[in-house]
Structure 1
Amino acid sequence: MENSSFGKRILDNTLDIPAPRILPQTNTVIPHYFVVDAAFSLTKNLMRPYPGGNVLKNSEIFNRRLSSVYPDM
């Protein structure tokens, strides 16, 4: 990731990402993020689904919500 300009900008916080926002109908503030695979390390703006084939029900829900699009945010 450090070899690409995108990766460098994510790591040094110079990528123009919108400021964190409050989730609708909550007081929870979250940053905008990209969903990536296991090749990337986790950062404030990079998240990845639970790994592995032995997936628990809660991780299935997490993965589905992580990959969802919320158009009203």
Structure 2
Amino acid sequence: MQWNLGVQVNAVQAKDLVARIQELTEANQLLASQPATVEAARAQLERELAETQDDMISARAALRNMMRKQNRDG
């Protein structure tokens, strides 16, 4: 009877360990995928920044031209 109880306890412990291993494996996969996700977001932000900088340069040039024209005409 004690042997049977020991087998049952070991089976429950093994089941818990398998579940914990699965949890840790899933957490590890999630953490392993995060650098790629963060890198993709960083690259997107860099593209958006470059586009915004281009827009700002164009706006400054247009403003300069408008001010020159105003000074000539005014």
Query: TM-score scaled to structure 2, two decimals?
Result: 0.19
Answer 1 or 2: which has greater strand percent: 1
Q: TM-score, normalising length from structure 1?
A: 0.19
In terms of Rg, which structure is larger?
A: 2
Higher helix fraction (1 or 2): 2
